Amino acid sequence: MQLRLTIEGLAAAGADADKKAARAAFDDLRLALEVGAVRAAEPDPSAPSGWRVNAWVKQGILLGFRFGDLVDMSAGLPFYDKDTQSVQNPGVEGGVRIVPGGSAIRGGAFVARGVICMPPMYINIGAYVGEGSLIDSHALVGSCAQVGAHVHVSAAAQIGGVLEPVGALPVIIEDDVLIGGNTGIYEGAVIKKRAVIAAGTILTGSTPVYDLVNGTIIKPSAGQPLVIPEGAVVVPGARAVTVGAGREWGLSLATPVIVKYRDGKTDARTELEAWIR
């Protein structure tokens, strides 16, 4: 609570905030994020989406950028970043597998024991990755994104990040979800437990999703994000343009479609490979 009050006060002061105090508060926040003591968003059964954003955590992260100084971080290749930022080195005792080949976990991210990081992948500041998840090659877990336990983020998948506005919910991926290759999930979309997002699917905070099983269209409501139901299997689809020149030209728009809900056959096909652990 004291850290929150300190950060909120510094954020309210804007550019007039004390630089030394702001940097110290950011350091405390970074360490708390790395051990999972605080999160940019957390489960909240009372919220319509099941999650609530902790705006003060984002405010604290932004303090680190605002009051950091640009420095040379080159190590063979040229890198220049704010001196408040760092790259984690969890060590063997951290229980995280970081396979050689150019991956990085930025300081201020939480990565649980048993996570596998295939090269090259990137986990940004404020992100949370739960136990036993797999972040595959060329995948991104964006700033403040929340990824649950035993999630497979497949090759080249993009889990979008968000720092501003500070009140915006980040992308949420709950436990036991499969995110297919070349998938993009952005703008605070919430993927509930055990869902399967097929390769090439794009979901944003304003994407309508057509549920063929229940005959409904899932849309974000006022002030609430897109929520993909538990166990839904979502694949890329298309719907015809029925107005204007689009109809004459035979155009269609990309549309995610729920074709089924997860069953035993789906579980067998999407189970994380035990032999690589």
Give the count of beta carbons closer than 10 Å to the beta carbon of residue 165: 9
Tell me the pLDDT tens digit for each residue of 95-113. Answer: 999 999 999 999 999 999 9
Q: What percent of the chain has pLDDT over 90?
A: 90
pLDDT interval class at 76 (50, 70, 90): confident
Q: Which residues contact 66 (CB under 8 A, 6 or more apart)?
A: 15, 22
Question: Would the CA dihedral through 42, 139, 88, 162 be positive or negative?
Answer: negative
Residue 45 CA to residue 150 CA, distance in Å, equals 21
Of the given ranges (35-49, 74-88, 225-239), which has the lowest mean pLDDT? 74-88
CA dihedral 134, 139, 120, 71 (to 10 degrees): -120
pLDDT interval class at 272 (50, 70, 90): low
Output the average pLDDT for the chain.
94
Tell me the pLDDT tens digit for each residue of 248-268. Answer: 999 999 999 999 999 877 776
Q: Which residues partner with 237 through β-bridges?
A: 255
pLDDT of residue 277: 64
Of the given ranges (41-45, 110-114, 264-268, 272-276), which has the lowest mean pLDDT? 272-276
User: Is the predicted pLDDT of residue 271 greater than 90, yes or no?
Assistant: no
Residue 236 CA to residue 234 CA, distance in Å, equals 7
Tell me the pLDDT tens digit for each residue of 130-183. Answer: 999 999 999 999 999 999 999 999 999 999 999 999 999 999 999 999 999 999
| C-alpha separations of 210 from 56, 214, 219 in Å | 35, 9, 9
Most distant pair of Cα atoms in the chain: their distance: 63
Residue 129 CA to residue 114 CA, distance in Å, equals 10
Give the count of beta carbons closer than 10 Å to the beta carbon of residue 260: 15
pLDDT interval class at 75 (50, 70, 90): confident
Q: Which H helix or E strand runs over 72? A: strand 70-72
pLDDT interval class at 116 (50, 70, 90): very high
Give the count of beta carbons closer than 10 Å to the beta carbon of residue 29: 25
User: Is the predicted pLDDT of residue 270 greater than 80, yes or no?
Assistant: no
Where exactly are the structural domains of the chain?
2-68+93-207
pLDDT interval class at 206 (50, 70, 90): confident
Domain made up of 2-68+93-207: CATH architecture: 3 Solenoid (2.160)
Of the given ranges (21-30, 41-50, 70-79), which has the lowest mean pLDDT? 70-79
Here the tokens at position 189 are: 């979309």
Is-contact 65 82, C-beta < 8 A?
yes
